[in-house]
Amino acid sequence: MSEEQNKDINIKELNEKINKESAIIDMLMLEMDKVIVGQKDMSERLLVALLSKGHILLEGVPGLAKTLAISTLAKTIDAKFNRLQFTPDLLPADIIGTQIYSPKKETFSIKKGPIFANFILADEINRAPAKVQSALLESMQELQVTIGGESFSLDQPFLVMATQNPVEQEGTYPLPEAQVDRFMLKVVINYPNKEEEKIIIRNNLAKEFPEPNTILNTKNIIQARELVKDIYMDTKIEKYIIDIVFATRNPSEYGLEKFKNMISFGASPRASISLAAASKAYAFIKRRGYVIPEDVRALCHDVLRHRIGITYEAEAENITSEDIITEILNTVEIP
């Protein structure tokens, strides 16, 4: 038997295994759909971030079920959920915790902050000063917190969903590009359609608001994360991801000379890692044991939109990072 045939059999076995094990995703989505009307993309992206150990930044006007989405996910998984409302007077200790002195015992004790949970909603993250933002982002990156010289590991799984209000910019502290890069995905949420809004009104005015059932625990998610790592990614897909990312750095090499003066900086290697990891998680959600180009294309805007810097020239011509990504996807050869 040739190595090629052996590989094909292995992929077939892997595909059957993933198809069987990923049934939990359909169950999760069914429970979330009871509560979240429309916003299918947001629910999917939340799961992508959860399965690939990433974090997610949501941008959308208030009232689009951002808080409801992550609290519902936490309920279906029997995980601890904390909501942090970011305000200008917030301190890092309000998030990570602090040392408290007991005069009676004459010793310091550690009071852990709300960051010690599985799911964290950082509501309006751009309302808090830089020190607070960096305290949260450090926790996301290191998966641990230091209080009074002592390090504490965060609970697993650990997912931060931060929200930004794109409308109101007064009294906000925009996240620096280097810090925004810590988020695996930046998802822009739009309004529901008329039919979805009708269901939303009915659900909210009903005697009882729909409640999701708890069907999984945190161990199930940790096991699913290990399965996602096993998903097969062909070298052609790897090359496709690298070509997309390199096109943001050197557009001229890919026949995109028009963007040469439009991009101030391209996506970093973290973008390549995130796009590959997210594509594997997306394949798992679609119950496949292998990644296809459509998985990469489906997530490309969410992974790259916050990782490409645009120049004043691009702004003057109303060209956004979204436009650049779309053009790159239309130009780079699909395997």
Residue-wise pLDDT tens digits, 214-261: 888 889 899 999 999 999 999 999 999 999 999 999 888 888 888 888
Rounded (10°) angle between helices 269-285 and 40-51: 110
Fold of 39-197: Rossmann fold (3.40.50)
pLDDT the model gives residue 48? 94
Q: Is the pLDDT of residue 88 over 70?
A: yes
Residue length of the chain: 335
CB-count exposure of residue 2 (10 Å: 0-12, 13-18, 19+): exposed
Q: What is the pLDDT of residues 289-315, one digit of tens each?
A: 899 999 999 999 999 999 998 889 888
Given a contact cutoff of 8 angstroms between Cβ atoms, the answer to whether 299 and 185 are in contact is yes
Contact at 8 Å (CB) between 109 and 157?
A: no
Q: What's residue 103's pLDDT?
A: 81
Which of 47, 116, 38 shows the shortest CA–CA distance to 77?
47
Mean pLDDT, all residues of the chain: 85
Say whether the peptide bond before residue 157 is cis (omega within 30 degrees of 0).
yes
Alpha helices in 250-318, H assignment, sequence order? 269-285, 293-304, 312-316
- 224-331: CATH topology is Helicase, Ruva Protein; domain 3 (1.10.8)
Least confident of 15-19, 20-24, 60-64, 217-221: 60-64
Q: What is the pLDDT of residues 263-287, one digit of tens each?
A: 888 888 999 999 999 999 999 999 9
- What kind and span of H or E run contains 228? helix 218-230
pLDDT of residue 1: 38
The whole-number pLDDT of residue 71 equals 85
Q: What is the pLDDT of residue 301?
A: 94
CA 11 to chain centre: 28
In the chain, domain spans: 39-197, 224-331
Q: Is the pLDDT of residue 171 over 60?
A: no
The CA-to-CA distance between both ends of the chain, in Å, stands at 27
- The pTM score is 0.87
pLDDT of residue 294: 95
Label residue 4 by pLDDT band (50, 70, 90): very low
